[in-house]
Structure 1
Amino acid sequence: MYGSGARVKPAHARGAGQHVLLVVHEPGVAELLCTTLELAGYRTALAGTGSEALERLAEQRFDVMVVDAVLPDMASLARRRPVVAHRPPVLVLTEYDALDELVPELGPGQRDYVTKPFRVAEVLARLQVLLRDAHPGHAGDGVIGYRDLVLDDTLREARRGTRTLDLTPAEYRLLRHLLVNAHRVLSKEQIGQHVWDDHRGDNSIEQLVSRLRRKVDRDAPGLIHTRRGFGYWLGHIDAEH
């Protein structure tokens, strides 16, 4: 039996929209982790095998991975040594206490492990530690960040480097939405629903994005971009989105 069940909303360490790749073969464990992590504020993607996980890593950037050591193709992956541009930190679910032998195919990087049967609270706590070490600006505790752009939910304050951004409530909500969906294109309809809880005209959204962009990207490399015909996204211009 794992954790305390997927129906209970976690009251422990919470995420801030980070992307988690779950590499889990057992359907029951996969469902529990997906439900629990999403309730805790993460966004999840699921892979049932190691090969599928590598395909997902090649297509999209993830902040952290949760890997069940009992995968049907784990041994073959160790021999293939695939090349992945971005290797996120890895939390391993295992019945063994030999971490160095578990996932050699993932290469060097930050790792931690939780022994099975695991407790959901421990998984959440270990994920937060891995994320804090790998991405200090995404560590939870009300702080969301990307490069030198930081948003503090506790203070309702946004900063770009050492410069405090003077944002209206609507601009703050838009910036937060873009940050937690970094590298993902958001349509005007999605932005309108999130910022105003209804659909506003294209012109209203364009003006809002324009005002926010002038404040965020002033005297600094641009982070807010337009995908013509689709919407807007936040991230480095060379990043996948």
Structure 2
Amino acid sequence: MQQSNDGEQIPSHIAIIMDGNGRWAKRRGLPRTMGHRQGAKAVEPIIRRCLELGVSSLSLYAFSTENWSRPASEVDAIMSLLREMLHSADQYRRENVRLRVIGDRSALAPDLLREIESAERESAGRTGMTVNMAINYGGREELARAARLLAEQVKDGTLFPEEIGEKQVAAALYTAGQPELDLLIRPSGEKRISNFLLWQCAYAEFVFMDILWPDFTPADLDAAIEEYRRRHRRFGGI
């Protein structure tokens, strides 16, 4: 947590589960793909609002490891939207935004991988806010990956088992080097975290909102942060 320019407490790291695209479309008699497209449009205003507030990291849940079970046409549409978003990521050059894609890249198409690598390379030197776009991400997969990385270090003799603690696990996660997660927001009315940032959520505050993601605005973000400010975070203390 940190202070904004006006002295208000703001979360250093915010995560958002961008949920409700399909229901948004269904309520309007539209194809689910139209809901995803509208949801993609909601991303930029939220990024810009976080920049205005001075948030250090913003993690957005775009596509989970479980989402592959959806109809192929819907998955293809989501992947096309992700390509478009990555291709246009350079628009944040002036705002000094660094883009990182977190998740298992092994199942992604080669052209999408090229877009990811290009966007990350172009923004690597930026020192402002970091945007983590979670694509083919699963919290359990992230922890299994961290365990493999630590096991390799033990195998190589660069780490002893008794040295493994929270610090070492955190350093093996996709979000290594970023601030602790302060606030997780889930629009859509659902009240679960759906395998997102399981380790990072340990002491995060959760705000669940009944609005669907395509309708989520900077004003809704402000309302979630205001709710966060009213919480008393004890971290196990009194």
Determine which structure has greater relative contact order: mean sequence separation of CA pairs < 8 Å that are 6+ residues apart, divided by chain length.
2
The question of a shared fold, defined as TM-score above 0.5 by the shorter chain, is answered with no
- Which is richer in helix? 2
Superposition TM-score, scaled by structure 1 size:
0.31
